[in-house]
Amino acid sequence: MEVFHHRREIKLRVVSLKKAGKSIGFVPTMGALHAGHISLVRHARQQNDVIVVSIFVNPTQFNNKEDLVRYPRTIDADLLLLEKEGCDFVFIPDEMEMYPEPDLRVFSFGNFDKVMEGKFRPGHFNGVAQIVTKLFDTVTPDRAYFGQKDFQQLAIIRKLASDCRYPVEIVACPIVREADGLAMSSRNTRLTPEERQHAPLIYKTLLKAQETGRSVSPESLKKAVIDSINDDPFLQVEYFEIVDDKTLQPVKSWDKPGTKIGCIAVLAGKIRLIDNITFNS
Among 211, 264, 277, 261, smallest CA distance to 235 is for: 264
Q: Where are the beta strands (DSSP E) in the chain?
A: 2-4, 24-29, 50-55, 89-91, 143-147, 169-173, 235-244, 260-268, 271-279
Q: Residue 280: what pLDDT?
A: 81
Contact 62, 104 (CB under 8 A): no
Give the pLDDT confidence of 39-87 residue by residue, as tens digits.
999 999 999 999 999 999 999 999 888 889 989 999 999 999 999 999 9
Q: Residue 65: what pLDDT?
A: 84
Give the pLDDT confidence of 106-139 residue by residue, as tens digits.
999 998 999 999 999 999 999 999 999 999 999 9
What is the chain's mean pLDDT, rounded?
96
Give the pLDDT confidence of 212-268 residue by residue, as tens digits.
988 999 999 999 999 999 999 999 999 999 999 999 999 999 998 889 999 999 999
Confidence of residue 149 (pLDDT cuts 50, 70, 90): very high
- What is the residue extent of each domain of the chain? 2-173, 186-279
Share of the chain above pLDDT 70, in %: 100
Superfamily of domain 2-173 in the CATH hierarchy = HUPs (3.40.50.620)
The whole model's pTM is what?
Answer: 0.95
Q: Residue 152: what pLDDT?
A: 97
Contacts of 174-182 with CB under 8 Å at 24 or more apart are: 174/39, 174/147, 174/148, 175/36, 175/147, 175/148, 175/149, 175/275, 175/276, 176/34, 176/35, 176/36, 176/39, 176/147, 177/203, 181/207, 182/273
Is CATH 3.30.1300.10 the classification given to domain 186-279? yes
Say if residue 281's pLDDT is above 90.
no
Confidence of residue 174 (pLDDT cuts 50, 70, 90): very high
If you ran DSSP here, which 8-state letter would residue 177 be given?
B
Contact 137, 164 (CB under 8 A): no
Q: Residue 165: what pLDDT?
A: 97
Cβ density class 178-199: b for 16+ within 10 Å, e for less: beeebbbbbbbebbeeebbebb
Catalytic residue selected from 6, 34, 37, 124: 37
Could you confirm whether 5 is annotated as catalytic?
Answer: no
Q: How far, in Å, CA of 195 to CA of 109, rounded? A: 34
If you ran DSSP here, which 8-state letter would residue 115 be given?
S
* Average pLDDT value for residue range 163-185: 97
* Average pLDDT value for residue range 133-150: 98
Q: Residue 210: what pLDDT?
A: 97
Cβ density class 233-246: b for 16+ within 10 Å, e for less: ebbebbbbbbbebe
